[in-house]
Structure 1
C-alpha cells in the first residue's frame, strides 16, 4: 500500500505549515502529494510552489477541473510540471458538478462523459507531439471554427518537447459509467468516498472499462487512489465528531439537491434515509443539526479511525479490495509520521 498526502484546496486563506507536511511525507516514505481546486485557489500553482522543495514525491492534482482550462492549456501545464518535477507529475482531472461548471466557469455541464473523453484525447495528442493537434469533436474543436472564427487558426504542435509522452492521467469518477470510462482511457482512478465493502460493484464497473477495445491499461498496471481520512487515535468518537460537518457539507451542500454526486455515492452504500435527513437539514440552514445527523456508520464506511491495530487491519482490507494508494489529509507533521509508522 502506498500513501499519498492530500493537500486539497484552500479555505478562506492559504494553509500554514505545508512545507513541514511535505518534508515529513518525503522522510516517512509517502509516495505522492496532491492538490485540488474548487472555486477559490487553483490546483497547479500551489503544487508547483510547494513541490519545488521536494525531490522524490510524485506530485499530482486531485483534481484539476476540466472547465477551468482548455484541454491544450491542461496539456501545457502537464508538460511544464513534468519537466519541472523531473518526470514526477500526475495529471488528475475531474468534471466537477453543474453548480461549479455553469455557475463559476459559465460553461455547459451536459454530457460530462463525452467531454472527458475528448479532453483526455487532446491532452494525449499534445503530449505525443507526433503531429499538429486537430480535434473535430462536438465539445472541443481545434482549430476553432465556430461563430466569430477568423478562419486563420491552424493546427499546432507544442514548441516544448514533452519530457514524457505518457504523463499519467488519473480521473476522478463516482458513477458506474464514469468509472468504466476511467478504466478504459485513464491510467488511474481517483476515488472519493470509496467503500471496500462495495469492491465487487466497483470491480464490475472497472472490468467493463478494461474489456473495451483499445483500453489503455489492465488491472495489473492501473492505479486506484482512494481518498481516506486515516486517524490513529484512542478516542475515535471525538475524531468522528470532528469530521461530521465536512461529511454533512459534501452530502447535503455540495451540488444541487437534484444532482449531488457525493450524495449518490452514499445512497449506493445504503444510506439513503440518512442522506435525505442531512440534506434537508443542511438546505434549511441547520448545519449543526445536519452534522449531528451523520451516523457513525457513514463515517466508518469511508474513513479509518481507531488505534494502530484497527488502522492496520482496515488498511489491509482496503488493499485487498484493490486500492493501491490511500490519499490522506494530515493536520501536521506529527500526524504524517503517526500514519506512516502504522501503515508503512
Structure 2
C-alpha cells in the first residue's frame, strides 16, 4: 500500500506550508499528491503551481468537479498537465452534490451517474485523438444540437496527448457510483472508507468490473489488475487518542452536517451505513443550527477511529494492519504538513529518508 498526500480544501486563502509539504512528500518517497476544489479555489491551478517544483511524485485532482468545466475542457487540462509533468498526472473527477452543482454552477444535478458516464466517455475520446469528437448524449451533445447557431463542427484536439490512456479516477460514495467507477474508470477515490466495510466495497467493485468493456491498447480504462483505490484518510499522531480525534471531528462534522442538504447528504449516508445514523442525525441537527463546535463534539471516537488513524504511534501502526488487508492501494494522508516525516516513519514502520 502506497502513501499519498492530500492537500485538502483551501479555507479563506492558500493553505500555509502547502508547497513545502508537497516537496517534503516527494522527498519522503510518497507516491502522489492530490488537490481539491469546492466553491473557492480550483484543483488544477494549485496542482500545476506546486507540481512544477517536483519531478517524480504523481499529481492528481481529488477531485475536479464535473460541473466546473465541460468534458472537453477537463480533457484539455488533463493532457496539458500530463505533458508539463512528464506523464505524472491523474484526472480525478466527481459529481459533487446538488447544493454546489445547482447553487454554484447553476446546472441541474439530475441523473449524476448517467452524466458521469457521458463525461468520462468524452474525455477518453479527446485523449484517444482518433477522430474529431462527436457525442450523441443527453447531457453533453457534441456538436451542440439545439439552442445554438447550428455552425458547430466536430473537432479534434490540436495537441497530441502524451498518454492516450491517461488515468481517470472517480470519486464515489453510493453503491451504484462505486460500481460505476470500477466499470468505466482506472481508479476509485473513496471518502470515509473503513476497513469494516471492505467486503462490501470489494463486492461493489467486482460488480463494476464484471460490466467493464474490454480494454483497448493505448487507451483506457486500463486492465482491472491496474485499478487503484486511493482513500483519503486523516492521520493524527498524539499520545492521547481523544485529543487526536479532536483534530478530525470538525472535518467529519462538516461533511456529515454541512456538506449537503437534510435528506440529501451522500457523506452522511456513508457514515450511516457504517452504523452511525443516529450520531449523524444529531451532528447534522447541531450543524444546521449553527452550533458547529457542538456538532464536532458529538462525533463519537469510534467513528473517527473507523475512518481515520489517530492516537499514539503504536496504535496507528496497529490500526494500519487492518488497512493493509483492504482493497485500498494508496492511503491519501490528510495531516498537518509539519508532521509528514513522522507520519511516514510511523506508517512505514521505519525511519524517514535523510535530507
Specify if TM > 0.5.
Answer: yes
3-state SS, counterpart of residue 91 of structure 2: strand
Q: Please list the CA deviations of residues 210-253 of structure 1 after superposition, one character each: whole Å capped at 9, or x if unmatched.
A: 01151645552210000101122212211212221221111011
Q: Please list the CA deviations of residues 314-338 of structure 1 after superposition, one character each: whole Å capped at 9, or x if unmatched.
A: 22211211111011123223x1101
Q: Please list the CA deviations of residues 162-212 of structure 1 after superposition, one character each: whole Å capped at 9, or x if unmatched.
A: 000011000000011000010000000001000110111111110000011
Q: Contact 1:4–1:327 (CA<8 Å) still a contact in 2? A: yes
Q: Which moved more, 1:1-10 or 1:160-169?
A: 1-10
Q: Contact 1:183–1:217 (CA<8 Å) still a contact in 2? A: no
Once residues 311 and 212 of structure 2 are traced to their aligned partners in structure 1, the CA distance between those partners, rounded to angstroms, is 43
Q: How many residues align?
A: 342
3-state SS, counterpart of residue 8 of structure 1: coil
TM-score, length of structure 1 as denominator length:
0.97
3-state SS, counterpart of residue 80 of structure 1: helix
Distance 1:279 1:213, change over 3 A: closer
Hey, what does 2:343 align to over in structure 1? Answer: 339
1:81-230 aligned at under 5 Å gives the runs 81-147=81-147, 149-214=148-213, 216-217=221-222, 219-230=224-235
Q: Please list the CA deviations of residues 3-53 of structure 1 after superposition, one character each: whole Å capped at 9, or x if unmatched.
A: 111012211011121121112111111000000000000000000001000
RMSD: 1.1
Q: Please list the CA deviations of residues 36-86 of structure 1 after superposition, one character each: whole Å capped at 9, or x if unmatched.
A: 000000000000001000001000000000000000000000000000000
Once residues 104 and 69 of structure 1 are traced to their aligned partners in structure 2, the CA distance between those partners, rounded to angstroms, is 13
Hey, what does 2:318 align to over in structure 1? Answer: 313
Hey, what does 1:249 align to over in structure 2? Answer: 254
Misfit runs of 4+, over 6 Å:
none
- Which ranges in structure 1 are unaligned for 5 or more consecutive residues? none
Query: Is 1:47 aligned to residue 47 of structure 2?
Result: yes
Once residues 308 and 219 of structure 1 are traced to their aligned partners in structure 2, the CA distance between those partners, rounded to angstroms, is 34
Once residues 51 and 107 of structure 2 are traced to their aligned partners in structure 1, the CA distance between those partners, rounded to angstroms, is 31
Q: Contact 2:244–2:311 (CA<8 Å) still a contact in 1? A: no
3-state SS, counterpart of residue 170 of structure 1: strand
Hey, what does 2:308 align to over in structure 1? Answer: 303
Distance 1:310 1:51, change over 3 A: same
Once residues 218 and 294 of structure 1 are traced to their aligned partners in structure 2, the CA distance between those partners, rounded to angstroms, is 39
Q: Contact 2:234–2:248 (CA<8 Å) still a contact in 1? A: no
Once residues 213 and 305 of structure 1 are traced to their aligned partners in structure 2, the CA distance between those partners, rounded to angstroms, is 37
Once residues 284 and 22 of structure 1 are traced to their aligned partners in structure 2, the CA distance between those partners, rounded to angstroms, is 37
Once residues 325 and 228 of structure 1 are traced to their aligned partners in structure 2, the CA distance between those partners, rounded to angstroms, is 10
- Which ranges in structure 2 are unaligned for 5 or more consecutive residues? 215-220, 349-355
Q: Which moved more, 1:216-225 or 1:304-313?
A: 216-225
Hey, what does 1:279 align to over in structure 2? Answer: 284
